[in-house]
Amino acid sequence: MTELRYLPDDDDVTEFEATVVETTADYVILDGTHFYPGGGGQPADRGALSWPGGEAAVVDARKNHGDVRHYVDDVRGELPGVGTTVAGRIDAERRDRLTRLHTAQHVVSRVVLDEYGAATVGNGLSTDGGWVEFEGADVDVAEIERLTNAAVDRDLAVHKAERPRAVVEDAVPEGRAQLDLIPDHVDPMRVVDVEGFDVCPCGGTHVDALGDIGTVRITGASAEDGVTRVAFDVTP
Ligand SMILES: [Zn+2]
């Protein structure tokens, strides 16, 4: 098992040390990691591992039966053996951009729910930008952008914590999260609570205050089969 050290609220850490528990030609498993292994629409982190006498680029990270595999490339020296202490360094600039985009997605989803009663049914992001899909087709993109930035400008605190599932189910409004898709055994849940604005269970990385997002720009919108897709970007 790899301890997911970015949970529940250390998602601003990009340098850490950990111990190797398994090494293959393709990947290294550590006892704990700050690399986000992808999921919930957010891509995995990239970065590097280094150890006495060697280093490697981490080109992908993926969960596998409770472990996180750090896929390595450009290996210098021998890959580290079991028990070796390695230093992990996440590409902080890339992580920061994905973190700001991801948190912006929470705000856009909440704005769309409040303004149009429309539930988010899909979302994703890359370093090029993010997108949200929601039910319904009659939206005003300029209004979504205005309301999103109005929330961001309030610079609300973003709290990340483990909470009992029952508490989360009470706090999350209808249409905000697909709680029924989260297996029953997930209890407690990691929740992202934007103070006085939104609560949503989520395992990704998020800023500590909405002002850290920057400015959100809606870059496109399209509708098909009763689902609207809004693309967005963030600028510092
Ligand atoms: Zn999230």
Q: In angstroms, what is the span from residue 4 Cα to ligand 1's centroid? A: 15
Q: Which two tokens stand for residue 93?
A: 């600039």
- pLDDT tens for residues 33-49? 999 999 989 999 999 99
Contacts of residues 165-169 at CB distance under 8 Å and 24 or more positions apart, as own/partner, are 165/189, 168/199, 168/201
- pLDDT tens for residues 76-101? 999 999 999 999 999 999 999 999 99
Q: In angstroms, what is the span from residue 105 Cα to ligand 1's centroid? A: 8
CA nearest to 92, candidates 19, 35, 29: 35
The mean of the pLDDT values for the chain is: 95
Q: In angstroms, what is the span from residue 23 Cα to ligand 1's centroid? A: 31
> What domains lie within the chain, and their CATH numbers?
3-90 (2.40.30.130), 95-235 (3.30.980.10)
Neighbours of ion ligand 1 (CB under 5 A): 202, 204
Tens digit of pLDDT per residue, the chain (236 long)? Answer: 999 999 999 999 999 999 999 999 999 999 999 999 999 899 999 999 999 999 999 999 999 999 999 999 999 999 999 999 999 999 999 999 999 999 999 999 999 999 999 999 999 999 999 999 999 867 899 999 999 999 999 999 999 999 999 999 998 888 888 888 888 889 999 999 999 999 999 999 999 999 999 999 999 999 999 899 999 999 98
Dmax (CA) of the chain = 59
The residue written with tokens 């849940």 in the block is: 189
Q: In angstroms, what is the span from residue 223 Cα to ligand 1's centroid? A: 24
